Amino acid sequence: MDKSWMRIIDRFRSAEYREGVYQFITLAQAHATTNNIRCPCRTCRNNFFHPIDLVERHLFTIGIDENYTEWIFHGEEESWDANEFDDDVNEVQRDEYVDDMDEMLDDIRLGSFPNVEPMEPGTSEGPTYVEPRPKNFDQLLEDARRPLYPGCANFSKLSFIVKLLHIRTIGGWSVKSFDMLLKLLKDSFPDALLPDSYRESRRMERALGFGYMKIDVCPNDCILYWKENADKHDCPKCGRKQMACVDINHPSWNFLMQHYKSLLDATYVDSLPGLN
């Protein structure tokens, strides 16, 4: 697919850019499971989910990220070289991954996290995630360490689930596709200890203490808004503000589109949702 349109500067008057956006939105809609998709504009850079019509607006008012040439988050297959990976190295990494999982479980059980600095009560150095330990934690821990299926030496129940969740994140899978894969695996391997859904997988992780938090980042990748920067709204290095969503109901948006209406195909502009 020709993506040279992504580098066009005059986005509002270019029929080629308009057609490129149409092709992108069509592809994204065909693979979306909800009305919200990742926005590949130069500001959001696939870090934020927005309604499809707002993503389309961003692609015109802000422009698409020119480095996003493989639309892997919107249904396009990622190209890769099969010879790029070494099987022996991957086998060692997988074994280390499983071993590390056991060590992490031991740390959670003992309440020992050598690489995490505890925060004093009442401080506000940054966002925190605290997951209370359930009363039946030891039972959950014992269940999580069970082999994936009788005789399996490579994966425990938990390590397989965590591995799947990791692949989902890297691959940009939707929740629906993850649930479909789980159903296929359960039907194919009825003896395997697999969860029924993505929600159940995440619930198991959280119950064992594998919580997570979202931390804002400077649009130029200078800093994380974390610890000493948690209360800041502007980047201390480049001066950029924290990411802010465009309010499509704000008068300035309608003014902007009315200003360019004479330059665009009137039929196309009138089809944009939210434009009077």
Structure tokens given for 245: 């969503």
Is this model's pTM higher than 0.85 or not?
no
Structure tokens given for 161: 């689930």
Q: 10 Å Cβ neighbour count for 62? A: 15
133: nearest Cα among 212, 211, 213, 214: 211
Sequential pLDDT tens for the chain (276 residues): 789 999 999 999 999 999 999 999 999 988 887 888 999 999 998 888 899 999 999 999 999 999 898 888 888 765 444 444 444 434 434 444 444 555 555 555 555 443 444 444 444 444 444 444 444 666 667 777 889 999 998 888 888 888 888 888 777 788 889 999 999 999 999 999 999 998 888 887 777 666 555 567 777 777 777 777 777 778 888 887 765 444 444 444 454 555 444 444 444 444 444 444
Please say whether the beta carbons of 180 and 189 come within 8 A.
no
Note the pLDDT tens digit of each residue in 211-259. 555 567 777 777 777 777 777 778 888 887 765 444 444 444 454 555 4
CA-only gyration radius of the chain, Å: 23
Q: Is 1 helix (H, G, I), strand (E, B) or coil?
A: coil
Note the pLDDT tens digit of each residue in 99-123. 455 555 555 555 544 344 444 444 4
44: nearest Cα among 243, 249, 248, 250: 243
Please say whether the beta carbons of 254 and 276 come within 8 A.
yes
